[in-house]
Amino acid sequence: MHRLYDPVAALMRDVARDIMMPRFRQLASHEVSEKTPGDYVTIVDRESEARIEAELAALLPEARIVGEEAAAEDPTIVSRIAEGPAWIIDPLDGTNNFTEGKAPFAIMIGLTIDGVREAGWIYDPVGNRMCHAVRGGGCWVDGGRVHSSGSRGALPKAAIATYFMPEARQADIRARAEGKLEIVDIPRCAGEQYPRLFLGANDIALFERTHPWDHAPGALMLEEAGGKIARNDGAPYRLDVPGTGAIAAATPALWDMAAEILFE
């Protein structure tokens, strides 16, 4: 997997330079549309995915492609995610931020084999930060290996994505967290949220939606850095097993604490 680092990283930087950043804060109204209420797609999402798909197909022809925008058009491609090698692509993570002309946003690519996360890349075009992980090979940020330890604040810092939850559940989660967790702002970008966990800015993240393209690379990075991700009930987070919700934490001990506070 290490042999793929340079070409994939170079592709992500090229897409950011050629397609993404020239349109940052320059989108025309006809270049943005809603897939579902409040969930936007732009010309950048579509052009970036097409470019990434074409070059990854040439790099590893035997691998299938599971892209966010392709899956929006044909959801059945996700059902085959456990069959052989597959590239998982989020061509513009944080699209809503991008449409509002603000960071963070990212390009994310994961490589799986038989549904198992084997490698992942997250590129932040604004900060020029490249995160990378290989199963069994550690988590790396801009060439340096990182180890997750948490923020070490008075209370664990928890980024809780409540906007996809019913109102009653939102209220319950916030009531459980009061006085035990410090609720912090979410970046609305998984490509930023995962680095916040393994780089020490946040301790815990609670996700309601767990689409493969949002989590395949970052979840592997977190695990390789020493953190933990699992379903709310403790079941392993697997791309090939449908489910709703997941807790990600900078350490296994923080994961246990979050699960006890929020769900027991």
CATH number for the region 157-263 comes to 3.40.190.80
Average pLDDT across each block of 10 residues of the chain; the chain has 264 residues. List them in order: 85 98 96 88 97 96 94 90 95 97 98 96 98 97 96 93 83 94 96 98 95 97 98 95 93 98 93
The pLDDT value given to residue 35? 84
The pLDDT value given to residue 152? 87
**Domain 2-146, second-level architecture:** 2-Layer Sandwich (3.30)
Phi, psi dihedral angles at 205 (to 5 degrees)? -135, 135
The pLDDT value given to residue 1? 59
Domain residue ranges of the chain, discontinuous segments joined by +: 2-146, 157-263
